[in-house]
Amino acid sequence: MGNLASSISSPVKMLTRKRKHDDINSDSGSDESLDRLLMPKRKKLMTTTHYIYKALYQEGQNSDVTIIALNKEWKLHKVYLCQSHYFASMFSGSWKESDQEVITIEITDENITIKALDLVFGSFYQDEIIIEPLNVVSILAAAVLFQLESLMTQATEIMRETINVQTAVSYYYATSQYGYKDLHKSCFNWLLVNLLGALGDHPKYLREVNQELMIALLNSPDLFVMQTEFATYCILKKWVFLIENENWTGSRDECSDGAHNFFLEHGDVSYLNSTDGKKYEDVFRALRLDHLINHHYDVEILERDKIIPNEWLSNIYRHQWFQMLRIDQGIDKGPTELPEDLFRKSCFRCGRVVLHDGYHLWRWTGFNFGLDLLVTYEKRLFKFKRNHRHDSVSQSSLSPTTKRHIAYRMTVASVDYEQRQTKLMTTTGIKHVLLGKNEEIQVLQLEEEATFPLFISANFMVISPMDKSADEKPTKTKIKTCGSSTQIPSFSHNC
């Protein structure tokens, strides 16, 4: 018994000894070492999900079905594929593929890529995936094909967060194709705010706009026009040049120069009457031609470019001259009542960017039928003033009418400068006002939540609309309003 006790206790004794002087001195170091030993170390082991993904998806172990698409094979498993309604129906129904071990799927959607298929098939074996915005349209297309509701939701959420100059046009087409109406509208609204700014500055992405979309944007009364209506003509010049020269690459300024030279070299026949140009006639008819001839410089450009036929413009000149005589002789004092649809189709659109808070004063220049309208912004308040100067030079061009009617709408968008997404938008709606000489009115009070930069869109009608004679050919728009061009950094016409 004593020997047994001795044999049990002896290992313990072997682990103990008397401390020497040096051991006592190293107590603090030992404590630190002990602390390090007691500190937990986190090491991530391969989880079940990672093991499943690696063994079953990447290595294809125990695969019971081979999927072939876009000339690539995937060794997969029916039990995982049945998470998709598409495959669940295939394997459980009367499809001929239900008992096949090798299934070929014909992919007709050009948006679907091998990379997208790889991610979608891999998602059956994971609880988390990474989607790159540049590939999100392809992933959405594949998710729609295989009826993966969760993946479709994730893809569209990413698209909504990443609408920008690189993606807006492609997202617009994709959301139309796959039936996402709300997201489709968001893309269109982004283009309304940024067509004449951010998109116009990037020829590569401007080229992606097709005729149907361009016509819809130009026809919209909600288009943010920078600076005046003539900017819409300038963007069309660049757009036609880019479509006709599909391999051209370059900067915004180089695109403007290229467009200028392209039309100069075309010849004496107006471009829209030529064989090459006839296909663009409907797009140019979307321009509000009566608002393109309010400044002599703009008229010189129109005549130099020879894009729009003279017969289109001659009718506009005649009609505008008649309108001017009616204003000068006091017959027309401006629009008093207007149906909303008429205002939206006929108004003169102009805009500006306010980069920072402070005091701002400007006018949209050009012939404005005797009205000199000043716009001021200060302390989050926008105002209009009918300026009536008393020097002899300006008096001859200003309307002598004591009171003038104008219809207007101002819309202000607070924009995220990085992606140019609208964070907050405020509008006055369509308003009618009677302005006396030098009278000033408050137009719009900006919310405290609004941040800079501010994108400003202003729509005006300062003359009463008149029916054009039935034999006039030009545009489908009516007639009316103001100015031409005040230079704004990064938003010049570049014609």
Per-residue pLDDT of 371-380, as tens digits, reads: 889 999 999 9
How does residue 266 score in pLDDT terms, banded at 50, 70 and 90?
A: confident
Residue 14 is predicted with a pLDDT of 35
Residue 164 is predicted with a pLDDT of 97
- Which domains does the chain possess? 48-146 (3.30.710.10), 203-331 (no CATH), 340-389+402-461 (2.60.210)
Identify the CA nearest to 457 among candidates 413, 422, 494, 417. 413
pLDDT at 385 over 60: yes
How does residue 487 score in pLDDT terms, banded at 50, 70 and 90?
A: very low
The distance from CA 471 to its chain's CA centroid, rounded to whole angstroms, is: 39
Q: Which residues pair with 354 in a beta bridge?
A: 454
CB-facing half-sphere around the CA of 434: CA atoms within 13 A: 6
CB-facing half-sphere around the CA of 33: CA atoms within 13 A: 5
Query: What is 329-369 written as a DSSP string?
Result: TTS----S---HHHHHHH-EEEEEEE-SSS-EEE---S--T
Identify the CA nearest to 214 among candidates 192, 229, 198, 181. 192
Residue 184 is predicted with a pLDDT of 99
In angstroms, rounded to a whole number, what is the distance separating the alpha carbons of residues 90 and 490? 55
Range of weakest confidence among 48-52, 90-94, 178-182, 294-298: 90-94
> What's the whole-number mean pLDDT along residues 416-427?
96
> What's the whole-number mean pLDDT along residues 115-120?
97
- pLDDT tens for residues 324-347? 888 888 888 888 888 999 999 999
pLDDT at 245 over 80: yes
pLDDT at 276 over 60: yes
Beta-strand relationship, 102-104 and 65-69? parallel
Residue 397 is predicted with a pLDDT of 58
pLDDT at 352 over 50: yes
In angstroms, rounded to a whole number, what is the distance separating the alpha carbons of residues 167 and 158? 11
Contacts of 61 (CB under 8 A, 6+ apart): 55
Total residues found in the chain within this entry: 495
- pLDDT tens for residues 463-479? 888 765 533 444 333 33
> What's the whole-number mean pLDDT along residues 5-33?
44
Residue with the two structure tokens 């007691």: 38
Write the DSSP symbol of residue 39. S
Residue with the two structure tokens 């006592």: 24
Higher pLDDT, 58 or 12: 58
Range of weakest confidence among 11-25, 30-44, 170-184, 431-445: 11-25
Identify the CA nearest to 463 among candidates 401, 419, 415. 401
Identify whether the C-beta of residue 135 lies closer than 8 Å to the C-beta of residue 116. Answer: yes
pLDDT at 290 over 90: yes
In angstroms, rounded to a whole number, what is the distance separating the alpha carbons of residues 460 and 290? 13
Contacts of 170 (CB under 8 A, 6+ apart): 137, 208
Tokens of 447: 């919310």
- pLDDT tens for residues 198-240? 999 999 999 999 999 999 999 999 999 999 999 999 999 999 9
> What's the whole-number mean pLDDT along residues 356-384?
92
Q: What value does the mean pLDDT of the chain take?
A: 86
> What's the whole-number mean pLDDT along residues 5-31?
43
> What's the whole-number mean pLDDT along residues 88-110?
91
Provide the greatest CA pair distance for the chain: 133
Whether the model clears a pTM of 0.95, i.e. scores above it, the answer is no
Which helix or strand (DSSP H or E) is residue 377 part of?
A: strand 373-378
Query: What is 436-487 written as a DSSP string?
Result: ETT-EEEEEEPPTT--SSEEEEEEEE-S---PPPTT--S-SS----------
In angstroms, rounded to a whole number, what is the distance separating the alpha carbons of residues 351 and 221? 12
Identify whether the C-beta of residue 147 lies closer than 8 Å to the C-beta of residue 84. Answer: yes
3-state DSSP percent of the chain in helix, strand and coil, to 5: 45, 15, 40
Higher pLDDT, 490 or 317: 317
Tokens of 7: 């044999």
Identify the CA nearest to 384 among candidates 334, 433, 327. 433
Identify the CA nearest to 491 among candidates 349, 301, 352. 352
CA 10 vs CA 1, 17, 19, 20, 213: distances in Å: 14, 13, 19, 22, 91
pLDDT at 102 over 80: yes
